[in-house]
Structure 1
Amino acid sequence: MLRLEHITVSYDRKIRAVDDISLEVGQGEFVGIIGSSGSGKSSVLKSINLLVKPIKGKIYIDDVDIMSLKNSQLRAVRREIGFVFQDYNLIDRSSVLDNVLVGRLGYKSSFHSMLGIFTDEDYKRAEKALIQVGLSEKIFERSDQLSGGQKQRVAIAKTLCQSPKIILADEPVASLDVSTSQNIMDYFKTINEKKNITILINLHDVNLAKKYCNRIIALKRGKLLFDGKAGEFKDEFFKEIYE
C-alpha cells in the first residue's frame, strides 16, 4: 500500500534529516515510529504526503509514484491521507463542528471551500466522526474551550471526516498527561482495528509504542535502525537509539 524507496530529506543540502530510508507498510498496519529529537521522525511522516519533498527517492501509494503527480492529482491523493499534529491544528474561535468539517475541504471546489459550503452528507460525516471519538455533546462548543485531550479528539474526528486510507500522527500525545495519552491511543487503536485504516504514529514513549502498535520503526540521525514487530523490540535497541 505504502512504499518508500531510498528516501532522503535535507533542509540545507548538507545535513540529512532522513538518510536513505526504504520501507513498506501494508493496509491496516499500526506502525509506531520512535527516536530521539532530531532523529527524522517528523520528516519521514511529512514526506509521505509531500508536506516535505525528498531530495532523493520515490514514494508509492497503491503503486502510484506520488512524486511524479501533477498538483491536481496530488490533491486527490492527499484527501486519502489524514494528518494529526501535536498542536491539534484547530481554529480556536470556530466550533468543534466547523473544525471537523475542515476535513471535507479536499473534496470541495475552490469556490465552495472559500465560502464554507457543505452538504447534508458532509454534516452527517462530521457528526458521525464526533460520535466515534466521544465528543457529540461538544459539537457546538468553541475549540478553545476544550481540554488538550478533547482538542486532540477533535483533530482525530477531523481526520476521520476525510475518509482516509492512511492516518499520519506526529507526536499526538506528547503534550498530554499519561491517562489522557492512553485514552487518545485507545481511539487510534479502535480506528485501526474497526476501520482497517493504516496508521503511522510518531511517539516519544517506547512503552506506548510497544503496547499499542503492531510494528515499531526506530530512527537515529535520519537512519533506520530497527524495523520489526513490537514484541521484538528489546532493551538493547532502546539503549542504542537513545544513548
Structure 2
Amino acid sequence: MISVQDVYVTYEKRTPALRGVTLDFHEGEFVGVIGLSGSGKSTLLKTLNRLVSPSEGRVIVEGKDLSRLSFKELRDIRRGIGFVFQEFNLVDRSSVLENVLIGRLGYQSSVKSFFGIFKEGDYRLAEEALETVGLGEKIFERGDRLSGGQKQRVAIAKTLAQEPRVILADEPVASLDQNSGKVVMDTFKRIQEKHGISIIVNLHDVKIARAYCDRLVGLKDGKILFDQRTKEISDEDITGLYR
C-alpha cells in the first residue's frame, strides 16, 4: 500500500530528521511508530502523504511515486489518506456536523467548497462517521463545547468522512487524560477491525503502543532501530530505543 524507499529528510542543512528509512506499510495493519522526541516520528508520518517531501529517496503510494505527481494527482491520493493531528484542528464555532463535513471537501469543486455546498450522501457519511466514533448525539453541538477526547473523536470522524484507505495519526492521545486516551485508541482499533482501514500512529507511550498496535517501528536519530510484530519485541529492544 505504502512503500518508503531509502528516504532522507533534511531541514535547512541541519542534521537529517530521517536517514535512509525503508519501510512497507500493508493494508489493514495497525502500526505504531515509537521513539524519543526528535527521533523523526512526525517527519516520517508527514512524508507518507507528502506534507514533507523527502530530500532523497521515494515514497510510493499504491504504485505511484508521490514526488512525481501533479497537484491534482496528489490531491486524489490524499483523499485516501486521512491525517489526525494532536491539536484536533476543529473549527470551534462550527457544529460537530459542520466540522466532520470538512472531510468531504476533497470531493467537491472549488465553488462548492467555498460555499459549503454538500450532497445528501455527504451528510449521510458524516452522520455514519459520528456514529462510528460514538458521538452521534453530539451532531449539532458546537466544537468549543466538547471535551478534549470528544474533539479528537470528531477529528477522527472528519477523517473517516474522507473514506480513507489509511489513517495517519500524529500523537493523537498525547494531550489527553488516560481515560480519554483509551477511548480514542479504542476508536482507532474499532475502525481498523470493522472497516479494514490501515492505522499508522505515532505514540509516546510504549504501554499504549504495545496494547493496541500489531506492529511497532522504533525510530532513533532518524534511523529504524527495529520493525517487528509487537509480540516479538523485547524489553531490551525498548530500553535500547530510549537509552
Q: TM-score, normalised by structure 1?
A: 0.99
Deviation at 1:14, TM superposition (A): 2.7
1:109 aligns with 2:119: no
| Structure 1, gaps ≥5 residues long | none
Alignment of 1:139-158 (within 5 A): 139-158=139-158
Q: Secondary structure at the match of 1:86?
A: coil
Aligned residues between the structures: 243
CA deviations on 1:24-55 (whole Å, 9 max, x unpaired) are 01100100000010000000000100111111
CA deviations on 1:136-176 (whole Å, 9 max, x unpaired) are 11111110110000000000000000000010000000011
1:99 aligns with 2:99: yes
1:17 aligns with 2:22: no
- Structure 2 Cα separation of the partners of residues 56 and 116 of structure 1: 39
Q: 1:215 corresponds to which residue?
A: 215
Deviation at 1:66, TM superposition (A): 1.6
**Matched AA of 1:3:** S
Q: 2:176 corresponds to which residue?
A: 176
Alignment of 1:191-202 (within 5 A): 191-202=191-202
Q: TM-score, normalised by structure 2?
A: 0.99
Alignment of 1:118-129 (within 5 A): 118-129=118-129
Runs of 4+ off more than 3 Å: none
Deviation at 1:236, TM superposition (A): 1.1
**Matched AA of 1:110:** S
RMSD, aligned α-carbons: 0.7
Q: 2:203 corresponds to which residue?
A: 203
Q: 1:83 corresponds to which residue?
A: 83
**Matched AA of 2:157:** A
- Structure 2 Cα separation of the partners of residues 14 and 179 of structure 1: 39
CA deviations on 1:169-202 (whole Å, 9 max, x unpaired) are 0000001111111111111001001111111000
Q: 2:70 corresponds to which residue?
A: 70
- Structure 2 Cα separation of the partners of residues 92 and 40 of structure 1: 30
Q: 2:34 corresponds to which residue?
A: 34
Deviation at 1:13, TM superposition (A): 2.2
Q: Secondary structure at the match of 1:167?
A: strand
- Structure 1 Cα separation of the partners of residues 197 and 21 of structure 2: 23
**Matched AA of 1:155:** A
Q: 1:58 corresponds to which residue?
A: 58
**Matched AA of 1:125:** L
**Matched AA of 1:52:** V
Q: Secondary structure at the match of 2:17?
A: strand
| Structure 2, gaps ≥5 residues long | none
Q: 2:187 corresponds to which residue?
A: 187
- Structure 2 Cα separation of the partners of residues 138 and 102 of structure 1: 16
